[in-house]
Structure 1
Amino acid sequence: MPEPTGVIHDIGYQRYAGPRLGRRQVFGALYGHGLRTAFGLGRSAKAKIFPWLIVAIVVVVAAGATAVRTQIGEVVLTYAQFADAMSWLVIFFVAVVAPELVSRDLRSGVLPLYFSRPLPRSDYPLAKLAALMTALWLLLGAPQLLMFVGAAFTTGKGWRGAWDELLDLLPGLLYAGLWAVVFASVGLLVASLTGKRAFAAGGVVAVFLMTTPIVGTLQVMPSNTVNELAFLASPSTLVQGIGGWALGDLLASPGGGSTALPIGGFGPLYAVAAVLLVAGSVALLLARYRKVASA
């Protein structure tokens, strides 16, 4: 019988003996990576062009509004009005970023690798959703902070003027948060339905823009009640309706007019509708990833 000729070489592989991070760290890593992805950080220069172009536009608008206020002494754009004015940019930001967050992973088939870790199926979409919400809030909130810094110390009222500005700023930041929550929930759900980024981006734009004509159609109906409820038909006007109801004078223009939508006494209904929209979108998003995980 021939002698065995095989040789076992010890090349130094050892068992991992370090700390094993758990669910919180995995969720945090997904969230941090998603937030960086939203702004193209750690990626190619091409991936940075669109998000930072949007950032540049909102910062320029905020700086322009602050400069005009400093020169003429009048508010040309309130903090809450800034969020409304930038809503169309938010739509395109979501249309580009949401597919980057989820569609790429769906198409490349790496989700089984994520779910082989100590990661519950719900944590993946929730981490991506939190990252998108944060990115949107920063997109709308950071320029408001720039407006605050420019206005707080140029009012000539000292710390009292800065305090009054802060009281105006805080509702504006909360309003920006409302935009972020609603748009991120709906946008990420739509993007998660396909692994093709172009289709996902088109779907997001369609949901936000193609619902607007429905609002216009309902607006010409002869019933005042239908007119006041018409803004429920689009996520954008739904958020603006809540803003007009909750913020009131903060959407008023210097000339005495207001940009608030005419929703009558249906403000609480709009708030309930927004809660149901977000809750339904999140529930469907979680169901979508349970289906992906079991496929």
Structure 2
Amino acid sequence: MSESSVIHDIGYQRYTGPRLGRGAVFAAIYVHGLRAAYGLGRSAKAKIFPWLVVGIVSLVAVILAAVRAQTGLLPLNYIQFADAMSWLIIFFVAIVAPELVSRDMRSGVLPLYFSRPLRAADYIGAKVAAMVTAVWALLAGPQFIIFLGGAFTTKTGMSGVWNELGDLLPAWAYSLLWALLFTGIGLLIASLTGKRAFAAGGIVAVFLMTTPVVGVLSILPSTTAQELAALASPMTLVSGVGQWLITGANTGLNIGRFGPVYAIEAITLIATCLLLLLARYRRVASL
């Protein structure tokens, strides 16, 4: 350094506040992802589709509760309600999954994320948790509306309320299975491209292409083929698990003695999607 050199103090100071670590980063990504799923904190345009889906699903639940209050009959039970809303859930996932992961890839912020004390597993765990929560709430909230309609109109007092709760809780577990499976598939596909339109199209295509396969297999003359047909599509796969595990589910599927097979495939598919997703982001984090 020469004698004429000068050191200028421009006011930079070291950070002396609390360092919250990985847990706080995980929570921040989770909350941000959950808000993004419903368009909160974003433009009015981003809120239109998710809240339109919320409105439709909730309206159907209110109608079912009103019909039950007037007639004493429930056209769709809690399980059937989740199945009936499945196509809306698909489109919800197709919009939300790219919003959660494709946007980060396109904007190039992943290296910034992983330069902090944040691991790929933390990032993926937070995104998966946010998406699962958003999808589960989309079904569980309206199911709770139906429960309130049944609880307040029961003619058997508290025993009727407890019976209603006994129907609701397995349905919430069933909705969680929907959320886990759809989240795993949706986020995995969305993680493959930074273009949201391509990601959304790919997610919808997976479900559209597999559903006709179930129809073809179900009309084969073999009884075994008919009972296994629903394994070919994620939508009917969940229904098959519900038919096996939940008494009175009445999903309309004939799965015969193959209930355990449906459960094994569902668990395997969810685990495979999540592991592939983790491997994908570990590779990104290592670049």
Q: TM-score, normalised by structure 1?
A: 0.94
Partner of 2:144: 145
1:264 match? 256
Q: Deviations over 1:175-208 (max 9, x none)?
A: 1111001111111101111110000000000111
Secondary structure of the structure 2 residue equivalent to 1:13? coil
- Give the aligned residue type for 1:293: A
CA–CA separation in structure 1 for the residues paired with 2:278 and 2:5: 56
Question: In the alignment, residue 78 of structure 1 is paired with which amino acid?
Answer: N
Tell me what 1:25 maps to. 24
Deviations 1:103-130 (A, max 9, x none): 0111111100000010012211121111
Please state whether the residue corresponding to 1:177 is helix, strand or coil.
helix
Corresponding residue for residue 89 of structure 1: 88
Q: 2:37–2:131: 8 Å Cα contact kept in structure 1? A: yes
Distance in 2, matches of 1:118 and 1:21, equals: 10
1:4 counterpart residue number:
4
1:274 aligned to 238, 260, 266, which one? 266
Q: How does 1:66-77 map to 2 (within 5 A)?
A: 66-77=65-76
| Contact persistence 2:239–2:251 (CA under 8 A) | no
Q: Identify the residue that residue 197 of structure 1 maps to in structure 2.
A: 196
User: Would you say the 8 A contact 2:242–2:251 is kept in 1?
Assistant: no
Q: RMSD between aligned alpha carbons?
A: 1.4
Q: Residues 36-73 of structure 1, C-alpha deviation per residue, up to 9 Å, x if partnerless?
A: 00000011100000000000000000000000000011
- Hey, what does 1:235 align to over in structure 2? 234
Runs of 4+ in 1 over 4 A off after TM superposition: none
Specify the code of the residue in structure 2 equivalent to 1:75.
L
Partner Cα separation in structure 2 for residue 219 and residue 74 of structure 1: 31
Contact 2:79 2:251 in 1 (8 A): no
| 1:1-295 map, 5 Å | 4=4, 6=6, 8=8, 10-249=9-248, 251=249, 258-295=250-287
> How many aligned positions are there?
286
Aligned partner of 1:290: which letter?
A: R
Instruction: Determine the C-alpha separation between the residues in 2 that align with 1:233 and 1:60.
Output: 31
Report the residue type matching 2:4 in the other structure.
P
Equivalent pair of 1:243/1:260 in contact (CA under 8 Å): no
Q: How far is 1:211 from its partner?
A: 0.5
CA-to-aligned-CA distance 1:146-175 (integer Å, 9 cap, x gap):
111121021122222111111111011111
CA deviation vs aligned residue, 1:244-273 (integer Å, no higher than 9, x gap): 111131x3xxxxxx4331111100110000
Post-superposition offset of 1:4: 3.3
Residue type of the partner of 1:218? L
Contact 2:214–2:233 at 8 Å: present in 1 too?
yes
Shift in CA distance, 284/63, structure 1 to aligned 2, threshold 3 Å? same
C-alpha contact (below 8 Å) 1:23/1:119 kept by paired residues:
yes
Mark the runs of 5 or more structure 2 residues left unpaired by the alignment. Answer: none
Contact 1:148 1:165 in 2 (8 A): yes
TM-score, with structure 2 as normaliser: 0.96
Matched residue type, 1:118 = P
Please tell me whether the aligned partners of residues 207 and 234 of structure 2 are also in contact (alpha carbons under 8 angstroms).
yes
